[in-house]
Structure 1
Amino acid sequence: MNLLSGLEKFGIKSDGIGDIYQDEKQDKKEDAKKKKEAEAPKVKKEEPKETDFLLEKAIRCPVCDKVFKTLIVKNGRIKRKESDRDLRPRFMYIDTLKYDIASCPFCGYTAMNRYFEHISSIQVKAVKEGVCMKYTPSNEPQTGIRDFSYDEAIERYKLALYNAMVKKGKTSEKAYTCLKISWLYRAKIEELEAEAEKEGVEETKVESIKKEVELCRTEEAAFYNQAYEGFEKAISSELYPIAGMDQNTLDFLLASMAFKLKKYEVASRGVSRLLASSSATSRIKDKAYDLKEDIITAIKSGT
């Protein structure tokens, strides 16, 4: 039965329309379909890899004058996380520390990116005699975008430290290199501990990881002490900025390092200077105040 019969005189054909509420029913069907699609499990996005944040850059070695490619971080793409108290930087999906070294694969000259091009003719001569003549090129691939393991990164930093010693670089350069090596050992420890906590890891593997962690802790502490000692010397012999840091930043770094090394009196004096400083930013002062509270707690507890 066509309930709309008789509309033909108005030029309206109502053939095929049998349900007055068909629009509502159609809407309900579409709503149900949309709801079902919304409730369907979403495909989990794959986490970005470190290599997604890297690119190759061609640079010229100031020692042997040859051009080579080095990996640098796409700073515009990385997302910063809260740094460690001693200013160790943290980012999502990538540890940028691993890629802050330029190492010439031809002659062995190696330095942190900020220092690589800044080398005097006297230092070039020293590197040629003390590094290049002894250097054996690595068999590892030197081109292409790939992620570095912590062991590889640490090796590159140690080579940078050796170069800094040979060329008689600034005390702050050697101290900063030591600090970054220490941070890399800390990061490696975190990686190892995360691996040990995975389900299904054999007990023998866990024990092996624990031993490696202890070795890393020893290395971390050794380089940390060297970094602290170096920065203490640098502040009395170099002008600011030191290793790219202004006085307040370096004062906070040293106070944080002193706290970690349980030099509470030294840390407390550094914090007091920062809190009384008219040039320190509110951010630095907030960090210094938090550190002060932790120093007081540590002294009271005798830890």
Structure 2
Amino acid sequence: MGILSGLKSLGLGNLEDVSLFEEPKKKEAEKQEQVAAPKVQEKDLIYDRSFVCPVCDSSFTSKVMKSNKAKLLGTDADLRARYEGIDAAKYEVVMCPVCGYAALMRYFTGITSSQAKLVREKISQTVRIPPSQGETYTYEEAIQRYKLALVGSVVKRAKPSEKAYICLKYAWLTRGYLESLKEQEAKADEKRVAEWETQENELLANAYKGFTEARQTEMFPLCGMNEVTVDYLLAVLAARFQDYDMSVRLLSSIITSRTANSRIKDKARDMKDQVMLDMKKKQQQQG
């Protein structure tokens, strides 16, 4: 017999089993549910920006991220920025839907007349651009745009730094695509995942090669990055491909640099500690 049994006789039978005290966790959960902010939508973090193609003079729009609205969550070791609700790499390439000229936004208008002629001759005459349908770019669409930007950089004989930067951003896009696959699928297809991991690795290897060449042949800043930032990026990529001596040398130069700020010096120290551990493990495996 409950302490409230008998309420039926008073016409309150539906309250005989009521709990006297709410469970604190339940109450708190309900409270959090009420004040929870709405989930950030990717479509709300982009806008259509107008461009004029420097190759064919066509006017068009391209989806661009609102950098002032996107919330930064953190940065990967190789400087890939991660934002809430959006993968920034999807919106880095500007592509003309008429002639197929594509480039990272930083480089889109900086094309010479001789380079534009090469694009018209080797890309525009045969390219077929599928129309974009949705409110956002899918990963598949973004990948196509990067492919066009990369082949365009080869056709127009771009500097090593530009080609390296495309490879780096394309690798970030590939990583984001992999992350989305793993989120969407309880058990992502292992073969498919392995293929994309191989592609990311190949893109980063090309980025490493391109930035190494650019550092020796071009003037700073490279792709908007100063010498310290480029050296840090190269150190991270060198470590990834087990070029440990190069990685340690670059990180040491950052740590002792007079121009590097304390933040990147701290990152370099942490990275150097990790590289030294990796070197030791490799030596133990070989010995």
Q: Secondary structure at the match of 2:265?
A: helix
- One of 66, 80, 84 as aligned partner of 1:88: 80
CA contact (8 A) 1:78 1:91 kept: yes
Identity across aligned pairs (percent)?
Answer: 37
Q: Secondary structure at the match of 1:185?
A: helix
- One of 137, 153, 160 as aligned partner of 1:148: 137
Question: For residues 263 and 97 of structure 1, what CA distance do their matches in structure 2 show?
Answer: 27
User: Which aligned pairs between 1:175-190 and structure 2 lie closer than 5 A?
Assistant: 175-190=164-179
Question: For residues 243 and 38 of structure 1, what CA distance do their matches in structure 2 show?
Answer: 49
2:141 is the alignment partner of 1:161: no
CA contact (8 A) 1:109 1:127 kept: yes
Q: Secondary structure at the match of 1:71?
A: strand
User: Which aligned pairs between 1:215-226 and structure 2 lie closer than 5 A?
Assistant: 215-226=195-206
CA contact (8 A) 1:192 1:209 kept: no
Shift of residue 137, structure 1, vs aligned partner:
2.7
Aligned to 1:282: 262
Please list the CA deviations of residues 1-28 of structure 1 after superposition, one character each: whole Å capped at 9, or x if unmatched. xxxxxxxxxxxxxxxxxxxxxxxxxxxx
- Rg larger in structure: 1
Aligned to 1:301: 281
Aligned to 1:115: 107
- One of 96, 111, 125 as aligned partner of 1:133: 125
The aligned amino acid for 2:271 is: L
Aligned to 1:256: 236
Question: For residues 244 and 30 of structure 2, what CA distance do their matches in structure 1 show?
Answer: 56
The aligned amino acid for 1:129 is: E
Aligned to 1:239: 219
Shift of residue 40, structure 1, vs aligned partner:
5.4
Number of corresponding residues: 258
The aligned amino acid for 1:155 is: Q
TM-score (norm 1): 0.80
> What RMSD over aligned residues (CA atoms) do the two structures have, in Å?
2.1
TM-score (norm 2): 0.85
The aligned amino acid for 1:135 is: V
CA contact (8 A) 2:40 2:84 kept: no
2:206 is the alignment partner of 1:214: no
Shift of residue 210, structure 1, vs aligned partner:
1.7
Shift of residue 39, structure 1, vs aligned partner:
8.6
Q: Secondary structure at the match of 2:237?
A: helix
Shift of residue 149, structure 1, vs aligned partner:
2.0
The aligned amino acid for 1:213 is: V
Aligned to 2:184: 195
Q: Secondary structure at the match of 2:189?
A: helix
